[in-house]
Amino acid sequence: MKKRILGNSLEVSALGLGCMAMSYAYGPAGDKQEMIALLRAAVERGITFFDTAEVYGPYSNEELLGEALAPFRDQVVIATKFGIQIDPNGQQIVDSNPERIRQSVEGSLKRLKIEAIDLYYQHRVDPNVPIEEVAGTIKALIQEGKVKHFGLSEAGVKTIRRAHAVQAVTAVQSEYSLWWRRPEEELIPTLEELGIGFVPFSPLGKGFLTGAINENTQFDSSDFRNIVPRFTPEARKANQRLVELLIEVAANKLATPAQIALSWLLAQKSWIVPIPGTKKLERLDENNAAANVELTVDELQEINAKASRITVQGDRYPEALEKRTGL
């Protein structure tokens, strides 16, 4: 697996592994022993970058990674997140008060069985806590040796600049793929200017860009895609045009639609590190192979030209969740 650098200093595999779905959000959690085997298989295949959060599960995803990756601690980079808590009614609330951050870091260190968090993201911007205060808290945790690198998730460019002025931001995580390209407007140019790495989540459009989902697909009742406007049957039917484009390119490259979607992302900037998620070994291998698919300048231009003529239907989040993002 090829390597890339986030924020001028953090070396990771060119593709990481998003681990949320192993415990949360995309249907039933995976079998624990099978997920441990999958995580260890990822390490054996050269993946060194693993993404989790305290709220995934909640808490069980960090525990899973802690157990699975313990034998490989010196070989891997583990990213986790703070800033979303679960209230007594089971609802998620944004909370980045310094005291809460310190509680979160101690819990994550314990669950992950590590002495320092490699990359610690604020999961969502807290409008009630100045970002300078958040960045200052992380700066102190870095000085104390409990955190190595600071990250932000779904933050707007003004917030990123303010945070970066207090404590250097190593990476920003946001959704980015052929069917969500808003980061190209302001975010990517800002990250390039500041020397901050970019970690796209949902690089396969929450599974849609693999070609395995159509308007007739039935999701498990616990799958959050059931409430996503972009995943209504009507939107899925309309958005097949984008999948058809990927299938067309994939056929010419002897690749799969998922591999073309990932290789397109990798070709955008040398400091972009997508984190596709999966619960299946065959999908892991398919995604990893994307790092070896080279799209030519002409092929990239063709993809962009054809994709620009496709209007993706449906919002990426329900309105209440979209309001929590800084984009």
What residues act catalytically? 56
Q: Find tokens 């709220």 and name the residue.
A: 55
Residue 155 tokens read as 């933050």
Angle at 151 between CA 189 and CA 25, to 5 degrees: 105
Q: Is residue 273 within 8 Å of residue 16, measured between CB atoms?
A: yes
SS (HEC) of 155-210:
CCHHHHHHHHHHCCEEEEEEECECCECHHHCCHHHHHHHHCCEEEEECCCCCCHHH
- Map residue 114 onto helix, strand or coil: coil
Give CA–CA dist 114/262, Å, rounded. 30
Give CA–CA dist 78/51, Å, rounded. 6
Angle between helix 240-253 and helix 297-307 axes, rounded to 10 deg:
160
Residue 199, beta-bridge partner list: 173
Q: Find tokens 């986790």 and name the residue.
A: 80
First to last CA, the chain: 31
Query: What distance separates the 2 farthest-apart alpha carbons in the chain?
Result: 54
